[in-house]
Amino acid sequence: MKLVCVDCNKEYPAESFDYQCVCGGLFDIVHDTKHLDAEQLKRVFHDRLSERMTPYASGVWRYKELIFPELAEEFITTKYEGNTGLYSSELLQSYTGNRKVLLKAQSENPSGSFKDNGMTVAVSHGRSLGYKRFTCTSTGNTSSSLAMYASMAQGESYVFVPNKNISLNKVLQTLAYGARVISFDGTYDDGIRFYEQHSKELGLYICNSINPFRIEGQKSIVYEIAQYLNWNLPDWVVIPGGALSNVTALGKGLQDLKTLGFIEKVPRVALVQAEGASPFHQMVSKGRTQLIPEPHPYTRASALNIGNPPSWKKALRTLEETRGVTCSVTDQEILDAKALVDKSGIGCEPASAATVAGLRKLVSQQIIDKDETAVCILTGNMLKDTDALHEYHLGETSKGAFRNTIQSAELSLENIARLL
């Protein structure tokens, strides 16, 4: 395993771990995979599906050979993350106009978001280096996940959260897991800039997605989808984008599967951003090659409130390698799509529903054909933002097209029978 700079290609041994190259570029982790045999690994991964209470019962560490083969088991901190459902829904098929749509519910992870897939790897790596104090800046999901794993590892977590436009549920979850929460005036982007300037002096292990071990862990999401589908992926994978870690991990995971011979064909990737925080989509749709940060990102899907995504160069690689596309959707489109994901019984937080809204838009624009198959990644749980539920269903000025409200009634048989 080695670290390779995404900007200048300079290589470093994995032992000299850092978050940035001397040139300022982020790192990719590159594994030596020459000795790996796909058919043999498929059997190993299959056998591990019946593991219980060992690290290999995790839907991340099941794929350890492709993620972090060198790590000694004693350092693994796991909550058996991954192992999340892959669902179909007739309601969402008719809403998006697609013949076959699957939903991958990372919302079912132990802390309620896809961050757990990456965080188990980052915290385990930090422990292997001797760290006990971990940090991140966050709109709330990264921090909840970090706080949970740091406590499981008997370490401490220090998290920096913007003092507005984030979900209180997530901050409370982070606090409850035992983190020291520091609220600041700014956005996620300011938090990342702070780390870029001060990571050395802080002496803390940084668990944001500028840490390449997070990306390695998040690759497991597409490994799991592929394994559940008997190593046959659908035509499209639709994913929401904020800091762009997950689309990066998706692309890297797909390349692993293709290069090693697990799959024959790489699906196309559709990345969906919220209109008020869509600098990457703006760049791609206008044919630019440099990202222009959005200084004041705003979307009601608070997890996507990111104007300067650190991983944009890696994300661009995913698009190039998969003939990918991008689009943006409005907050109302996101919230209406979310109401239907919730009604389907699967449920998700607003940011996740950008995928379903995006798929609907791309089908209506005939960029995705209605006969093509697609999987949407649902990144966070519906209880992550109960204010959004309240505003949509019970808010006085709600514009929710699929609003469902509470009826009051006296409990008499006559009354109730009339309501049913």
Ligand X SMILES: Cc1ncc(COP(=O)(O)O)c(C=O)c1O
Q: Which spans of this chain sit near ligand X (rule: CB under 6 A)?
A: 113, 141, 240-246, 303-304, 349, 351-352, 379-380
Minimum distance of ligand LJ64HWYM from residue 140's CB (angstroms): 5
267 binds, among ligand X, ligand LJ64HWYM, none (CB under 5 to 8 A by kind): none
Neighbours of 160 (CB within 10 A): 22
User: Can you say how many angstroms the Cα of residue 27 is from the centroid of all Cα atoms in its chain?
Assistant: 19
348 binds ligand LJ64HWYM (CB under 6 A): no
Q: Tell which positions 182-221 bind ligand LJ64HWYM, by CB under 6 A.
A: 188, 208-209
240 binds, among ligand X, ligand LJ64HWYM, none (CB under 5 to 8 A by kind): ligand X
In this chain, which of 55, 59, 112, 140 binds ligand LJ64HWYM, going by CB under 6 A?
Answer: 140
The token duo for 226 is: 């592929």
Q: Each residue of 341-355: b (16+ CB within 10 Å) or e?
A: bbebebbbbbbbbbb
DSSP result, 128-175: HTT--EEEEE-SSHHHHHHHHHHHHTT-EEEEEEESSSS-HHHHHHHH
Between 3 and 247, name the residue whose CB sits nearer to ligand X: 247
336 binds, among ligand LJ64HWYM, ligand X, none (CB under 5 to 8 A by kind): none
**Angstrom distance (rounded) from CA 104 to CA 75:** 28
265 with 372: CB under 8 angstroms? no
Between 234 and 242, name the residue whose CB sits nearer to ligand X: 242
What's the chain's Rg over C-alpha atoms?
21
Minimum distance of ligand X from residue 49's CB (angstroms): 26
User: How far is CA 9 from each of CA 23, 29, 285, rounded to the nearest angstrom?
Assistant: 10, 12, 27
138 binds, among ligand X, ligand LJ64HWYM, none (CB under 5 to 8 A by kind): ligand LJ64HWYM
* Residue span binding ligand LJ64HWYM (CB under 6 A) among the ranges 69-77, 132-140, 339-347, 353-361: 132-140
318 binds ligand LJ64HWYM (CB under 6 A): no
The token duo for 134 is: 């971990």
Q: Tell which positions 229-288 bind ligand LJ64HWYM, by CB under 6 A.
A: 242-243, 245
